[in-house]
Structure 1
Amino acid sequence: MASKKYLLLAGAVGLLAASTSFAQVTPTGYDALDSTKVGRGRMVQQTNFLNHQSNFPAKPRDMWELGLSGGLHLIDGTVPAWPGFGGGISLRKALGHTFSVRAEYIGSIDKGQDYKLRPTVIANGNPWAKTAALNGGYIVPNYRSQNHQLSLDMIASLSNILFYRAEPKINWYVLAGYSIVSADVDVDALDANGNGYDYSGINFGAKRSDIRKQLNDLRDKKYEQNAPSQGNRIAIGRHNDNQLIRHALDVGTGIAFKISKRFNLGVEEKLTMPFDAYLDGYPGPGGSTKDFYSYTSLRLNFNLGNSSKRVQPLWWINPLEYAYSELSAPRHMKLPAPILPDADGDGVTDQFDREPNTPAGAPVDSHGVAKDTDGDGVPDYKDKQLITPTYCQPVDADGVGKCPDPECCKHITPACASLVLPSVSFKGTTTKVGKDQEAILASVASTLKANPSCNVLVTGHAGAKGKKGGVDLSSRRVDAVIDYLADKQGIDRGRFIKQNTPGDSGTVDLAPAN
């Protein structure tokens, strides 16, 4: 039985040693204990977290993402599309670790050429009238569309919350949002002389590629006419540049690969659905169909911001990493005392306690024996003179020697160095405590009330050497902070110690003074 107990103890010691060896490991993505990445507006929450008055750290400031894109753009409609090109620029900001919002501009040029004879279409005019007259009312549609698109999309990252890896290297996401599209759709319906195209020389029984080649040889490719359209056109100056303005719905998906903490490469497929049948200048056979844009792009993304003040965009940070690091090597977490058999409650388990009946509250050594700090034969819990010099011994039954009490040992001040107190910032030459400072100082007062034995060092800074009025301004700001804590929050003025040093004249620092 005893051997099992000693084996259990050896295992516990080994676990403690292992945890100590990893104590310096910190999260690679974001350290919740690092207040330099927290904005001023969230500093009260961060201070409460550091002082164990809140379970949640403040959200850090993160970088913006600037994106450049380019790739295949085409219109999926009735008229078969040729591969077109699109390019864009975007700006993206995280709302949290999963959701972000992105504003984007995309410009594109699309073309298409049919290979079938189709009935002419009359909608907001009939640009094909002359060609249809030559071919029994039939045409072979074509188009060129110049498009401008502004989008606002919500993006959801699906691969940054990881259970088995600290920092994601790949980010897969889906998106949905709204776009407004400006499209200039033109058709090549007349030849260079202004006449319609005669298809009598076209062999429509040939292969598609041969039919398209014959049509391309026939056309002059000027795209001189506005295509038929469903609804309004908005003139912007020239006849051939009349625009269709359409609202649209965006959906898409993409994947990004991290190159460094500043750059990543991505591939994205985005569909834009304006719910219009005339994006290619011709509605579907047998009735209207809804055309849409397809944009398959390669994206180069840059993270913008000062890395000393901001973390990476939050979709590149695993929010579980800090929690796992605390479980592995606690730096902030308060660990509960182990629950082991201890009959007298002195903190030494029964199997190692050499004095198993120590009175409750009596300080003991590592063997469970009541401490006798000064070695006078009277245990500390009975000793009314805890530290009796050897030249004052022997002592009486209360542990009191025959020499006067030394002045140095009358009071023992509890250590307050573990407290974390924030700084208070002032703007310009003001000395008045404003709303932002009141919130910070209210948190300080709460901490001081919970630690009544701790004094506070209030430090002002006179600013750069030779700056006019620096010392006076600094002193008035120090007084304003102390007045607020004393008058408004009820903290005893005797607990404050004032000083002035060189430094940032807009800041008053608070620190434990014991």
Structure 2
Amino acid sequence: MKKIYLLSFFLGLGFLSLNLKAQNPYDTAAYKPILPLYRDVLGDTTVISKKNMPQEKQFEKGQYIFPAKPKNKWEIALNGGGLFVSGDVSTKGGWGLGLDVRKSLGYAVSLKGQVLHGTTYGLNWQGSTGLANNPMLTRAHPATDYYSNGGIFYYNYKTDIDEINMQAILTLNNIGYHKVGRERKVNLYGGIGGGAMIYRTNMDALDANNNRYDFVSIFTNGSFTDRKTTTAALKKIMDGTYETAAEGQPDQPKFFERVTKPVVTGSIGLGFHLSRKFQLSLSEKISIVNDDLLDGQRWQEHPGLDPVLTGNFDTYHYISASLGYFIGGKSRVEPLYWQNPNDYTYDAIQTLIKKNVDDLVDTDDDGVVNKLDKEPNSEAGAIVDTHGVTQDSDKDGIPDVKDKDPFSPIGAKVDGDGIPTDADKDGVPDYYDKEANTNPTGLVDANGKTILGGGGGGGGFWWLPMIFYDLDKDYIKPEMFERMKYVATVMKMYPELKIVATGHTDIRASNNYNDNLSLRRVNNAKKYLADVYGIDASRIITGQKGETDNLIKNLPDGYNEKFEGQQYYNRRVEFKVYDPKTDK
């Protein structure tokens, strides 16, 4: 009947585990990068105790590097399995039932308390003749005096065990580095602890009529030479009532008339995560007792003249399956031995990486990341400002990327390509033209006025603007672009015209340095006209004068804020129409 109960228990556990595994307790869409992240809930302050809340607040403010430990659930479990004694008598096995209560102290260590009740059996298939030292089998107990009546006994026992223990459990694989905690379905753990146990051992020494068994006939029968045949013969004559108390230890403490002993326990096990509320565990626990009478036998078979005890104390093993239930409510996370604290670390790293990647995305490839781009879909190749907005330098409504004249005068009327209109086709845009409707075949100056005479390559004598530079710089500033356009316009009007460009500096720095600086300035101006406006570089005659021909003379050789405005006018490139008579 007991075997039927045990079979029903394990079948029930298996059926329940199959049903629980069929469920999908994890909706991955519910997991968002909210930190910290636990296996079963998002980590907000509802799972933090009042005691740990100050630490959590410090963590959220960046004043402490570790988040507070969350409140976590308890586990309560029913277990059942096989109970075995390892001693001097061969075990036949037995059964055990128990109750476990487990609570996490941290992510790796937890405490588990257990109460256990079980019964285990044993039978030696080889008969014993060294009975003289066992008081239960000698004249001290006439009814079971096998020593004086044939001298043969087959040791057997039935031992009832009750135990209470507490173990420190170390979970070995929940702290991982390559898998999200909620994907881990199996935990490996080991434990060590101690407690107390009480036991009572009986033996089957008399039949139903309280007579001794005829063990001599089995012992002397030559056909019973192996375990199988001998055990079968013993079962035929023994009634299995275990009516006789085995040898005990009368000087030991008793509890409910049973021997009481301290016990040291160790265990290993596997936990299987079934759902957010259930866990199935398989484990083996060994209990070490300073006692050699759990199986009712402690004497060596043939010690010689003096009685000798067997060499080792008895131990017992409990191999069990348990079904655990997590209790605690919604304000607690699953037990910490099912959590991976590295989930928080890696989730934080991934969130920061993704944030950095997102912050650097530039959809329109204009050099301004989307986070700062006020125009995230600018046309390819468009020149944009620091906010990603397409530039229209001359404010004519045509973006620079499409504008064939991106620096036309502000307010000038332009055509669809951004080129200022020229109604009389004299080469001077209407915006600058001071003389509308001039003769298309006549010569005009840069202001569109008719001119007389030829000089200097047919362009007449007119003023060309200078451009100015910042201190110790040789690039052309944007505010000088309009002047460069003016020079280019004149040269386009008169393709035969040549100009002379001369570079200058202020008086600061050495003569050699200033000669080189003025040369760089004039060469950059020449290159600008060629690159931007397509002017033939051979039409531009360059020279440099360094600091030798300043517009404003007698300025101090050094920085003086009072004179910086005047120094500015000496840092220049001058343009004038080439005159073959005077310019060599």
Query: Are 2:290 and 1:275 equivalent residues in the alignment?
Result: yes
Amino acid of the residue matched to residue 366 of structure 1?
A: T
Identity, % of aligned positions = 27
The answer for the alignment partner of 1:183 in structure 2 is 199
Distance 2:297 2:348 in 1: 63
The answer for the alignment partner of 1:142 in structure 2 is 156
The answer for the alignment partner of 1:98 in structure 2 is 108
Distance 2:31 2:161 in 1: 57
Amino acid of the residue matched to residue 74 of structure 1?
A: F
* Residue 25 to residue 123, structure 1, CA distance change in 2 (3 Å): same
Matched residue SS, 1:162: coil
Aligned pair partner of 2:319 in 296, 299, 309: 296
Matched residue SS, 2:179: coil
Matched residue SS, 2:193: strand
Q: Is the 8 A contact 1:153 1:250 kept in 2?
A: yes
Matched residue SS, 2:145: helix
Aligned pair partner of 1:154 in 144, 163, 168: 168
Distance 1:234 1:61 in 2: 42
Query: Are 2:122 and 1:115 equivalent residues in the alignment?
Result: no
The answer for the alignment partner of 2:245 in structure 1 is 226
Ranked by relative contact order (alpha carbons within 8 Å, sequence separation 6 or more), the top structure is 1
> What's the CA shift for 1:234?
5.3
Deviation per residue, 1:310-355 (Å, 9 max, x gap): 0000000000001101101149x999x99xxxxxxxxx99xxxxxx
> Larger Rg: 1 or 2?
2
The answer for the alignment partner of 2:33 in structure 1 is 25
Q: Is the 8 A contact 1:123 1:230 kept in 2?
A: no
Q: Is the 8 A contact 1:131 1:195 kept in 2?
A: no
Query: Are 2:342 and 1:320 equivalent residues in the alignment?
Result: yes
Q: Is the 8 A contact 2:134 2:299 kept in 1?
A: no
Deviation per residue, 1:137-157 (Å, 9 max, x gap): x32111111110111011000
Structure 2 stretches of 5 or more lacking a match?
1-29, 304-308, 361-367, 370-384, 389-584
Deviation per residue, 1:30-52 (Å, 9 max, x gap): 67851000011111111111111
Residues 17-96 of structure 1 aligned to structure 2 (within 5 Å):
24-26=32-34, 27-29=37-39, 34-96=44-106
Amino acid of the residue matched to residue 247 of structure 2?
A: P
* Residue 121 to residue 233, structure 1, CA distance change in 2 (3 Å): farther
Distance 1:248 1:209 in 2: 34
Matched residue SS, 1:251: strand
When the two structures are superposed, what TM-score results if normalisation uses the length of structure 1? 0.57
> What's the CA shift for 1:166?
1.0
Deviation per residue, 1:204-246 (Å, 9 max, x gap): 6432122122222222322222111346455667xxxx31111
The answer for the alignment partner of 2:386 in structure 1 is 366
Query: Are 2:177 and 1:163 equivalent residues in the alignment?
Result: yes
* Residue 271 to residue 318, structure 1, CA distance change in 2 (3 Å): same
> What's the CA shift for 1:124?
6.7
* Residue 113 to residue 66, structure 1, CA distance change in 2 (3 Å): same
> What's the CA shift for 1:59?
0.7
The answer for the alignment partner of 1:438 in structure 2 is none
> What's the CA shift for 1:24?
4.4
Deviation per residue, 1:125-177 (Å, 9 max, x gap): 555852222113x3211111111011101100001011111112111000111
When the two structures are superposed, what TM-score results if normalisation uses the length of structure 2? 0.50
Q: Is the 8 A contact 1:256 1:266 kept in 2?
A: yes
Query: Are 2:145 and 1:130 equivalent residues in the alignment?
Result: yes
Distance 1:366 1:229 in 2: 94
Matched residue SS, 1:56: coil
* Residue 23 to residue 59, structure 1, CA distance change in 2 (3 Å): closer
The answer for the alignment partner of 1:197 in structure 2 is 213
> What's the CA shift for 1:201?
1.9
Aligned pair partner of 2:232 in 203, 206, 213: 213
Distance 2:193 2:108 in 1: 16
Matched residue SS, 2:54: helix
* Residue 257 to residue 216, structure 1, CA distance change in 2 (3 Å): same
Q: Is the 8 A contact 1:189 1:223 kept in 2?
A: yes
Q: Is the 8 A contact 2:40 2:276 kept in 1?
A: no
Matched residue SS, 2:216: helix
Matched residue SS, 1:40: coil
Deviation per residue, 1:93-150 (Å, 9 max, x gap): 00000000000011111111111222116457555852222113x3211111111011
Distance 2:269 2:39 in 1: 22
Q: Is the 8 A contact 2:326 2:335 kept in 1?
A: yes
Deviation per residue, 1:250-285 (Å, 9 max, x gap): 111000111111111111011111131111001263
Amino acid of the residue matched to residue 227 of structure 2?
A: R
The answer for the alignment partner of 2:188 in structure 1 is 172
Q: Is the 8 A contact 1:124 1:230 kept in 2?
A: no
Distance 2:166 2:255 in 1: 24
Matched residue SS, 1:134: coil
Amino acid of the residue matched to residue 219 of structure 1?
A: M
* Residue 222 to residue 23, structure 1, CA distance change in 2 (3 Å): closer
Number of residue-to-residue matches in the alignment: 319
> What's the CA shift for 1:28?
4.8
Q: Is the 8 A contact 2:115 2:164 kept in 1?
A: yes
> What's the CA shift for 1:69?
0.8
Moved more, 70-79 or 90-99: 70-79
The answer for the alignment partner of 1:454 in structure 2 is none
Deviation per residue, 1:69-105 (Å, 9 max, x gap): 1111111111111121111111000000000000001
The answer for the alignment partner of 1:341 in structure 2 is none
Q: Is the 8 A contact 2:119 2:160 kept in 1?
A: yes
The answer for the alignment partner of 1:353 in structure 2 is none
Query: Are 2:272 and 1:261 equivalent residues in the alignment?
Result: no
* Residue 33 to residue 316, structure 1, CA distance change in 2 (3 Å): closer
* Residue 44 to residue 278, structure 1, CA distance change in 2 (3 Å): same
Matched residue SS, 1:65: strand
Q: Is the 8 A contact 2:254 2:260 kept in 1?
A: no
Q: Is the 8 A contact 2:133 2:299 kept in 1?
A: no
Matched residue SS, 1:110: strand
Moved more, 275-284 or 37-46: 275-284
